[in-house]
């Protein structure tokens, strides 16, 4: 065991079952990510990237694996309450569809992870909103923002609690190139300034250049 590893996945298999049909998706994945690394995962649609990210993010339980250690914690066999705790305390997510809560304000969205940990505070939230260039938008509802702004709110929400690991699933997939570049700059900045460990899925070769390492996936396997 190496505690420098943020992610230590070995021989990970996953299959979905729907309507009695078993569809194997991941075939013996091995993945090591160091603390402070910015890793990009690329691969064609349907190759299993999201499935892998969901397993690392404790949103999905794998069919079988030798080990799935995340943030220094073996997640195999963990009960739901502990998985929830780990998600809350150690992980941040950024999704292609932003996934902001539309009934509450931008500030409340960003403050949510802090509130859940019982550390509600406006100061860090406002600082962070200023940092992502949305200082004046705190009171608006997500629906009143442009898509680029929404994704920046989502990034602010993902990092506000200083999670050990940030997982981003095609965060630029719904953005035009200018907004995509801005979002990527933001992620790189968080990585550089805060030493944030990031695993990001993307289709876009150009976005991958900022990463420390690029992994290619195909048909449920990581290529060397």
Give me the residues that bind ligand ADP (CB under 6 A), please.
Answer: 16, 18, 23, 25, 43, 45-51
Verify binding: residue 79, other proteins, rule CB under 8 A: no
The listed partner (Mg ion, ligand ADP, other proteins, none) that binds 144, CB under 5 to 8 Å by sort, is: none
Task: Give the H or E element holding residue 213.
Answer: strand 213-218
**Pair 106, 152: CB distance under 8 Å:** no
Nearer to other proteins, 3 or 80 (CB): 80
The listed partner (Mg ion, ligand ADP, other proteins, none) that binds 57, CB under 5 to 8 Å by sort, is: other proteins
Only one residue has tokens 């899925």, namely 201
**Pair 71, 1: CB distance under 8 Å:** no
Verify binding: residue 193, other proteins, rule CB under 8 A: no
Cβ at position 194, least distance to other proteins in Å: 19
Of 42-50, 75-83, 105-113, 176-184: span binding Mg ion (CB under 5 A): 42-50
Cα–chain-centroid distance for residue 20? 31
Of 65-73, 112-120, 128-136, 201-209: span binding other proteins (CB under 8 A): 112-120
> What HEC string does 7-26 produce?
EEEEEEEEEEEECCEEEEEE
Nearer to other proteins, 104 or 223 (CB): 104
Verify binding: residue 50, Mg ion, rule CB under 5 A: yes
Label residues 17-41 b or e (16+ Cβ within 10 Å = b).
Answer: eeeeeeeebbeebebebebebbbbb
* Interacting residue ranges for Mg ion, rule: CB under 5 A: 50
């Amino acid at each position: 065991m190496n505690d420098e590893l943020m992610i230590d996945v070995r021989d990970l298999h996953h299959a979905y079952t729907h309507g009695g049909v078993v569809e194997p998706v991941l075939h013996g994945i091995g993945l090591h990510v160091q603390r402070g690394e910015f890793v990009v995962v690329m691969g064609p649609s349907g190759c299993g990237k999201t499935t892998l990210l969901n397993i690392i993010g404790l949103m999905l339980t794998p069919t079988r694996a030798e080990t799935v250690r995340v943030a220094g914690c073996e997640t195999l066999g963990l009960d739901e309450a502990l998985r929830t705790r780990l998600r809350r305390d150690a992980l941040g997510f950024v999704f292609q569809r932003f996934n902001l809560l539309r009934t509450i304000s931008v500030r409340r969205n960003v403050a949510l992870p802090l509130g859940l940990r019982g550390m509600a505070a406006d100061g860090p939230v406002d600082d962070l909103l200023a940092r992502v260039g949305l200082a004046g938008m705190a009171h608006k509802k997500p629906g009143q923002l442009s898509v680029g702004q929404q994704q920046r709110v989502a990034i602010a929400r993902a990092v506000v609690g200083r999670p050990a690991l940030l997982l981003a699933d095609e965060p630029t997939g719904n953005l035009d190139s200018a907004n995509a570049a801005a979002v990527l700059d933001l992620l790189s900045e968080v990585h550089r300034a805060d030493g944030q460990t990031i695993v990001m899925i993307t289709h876009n070769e150009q976005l991958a250049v900022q990463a420390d390492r690029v992994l290619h996936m195909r048909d449920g396997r990581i290529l060397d």
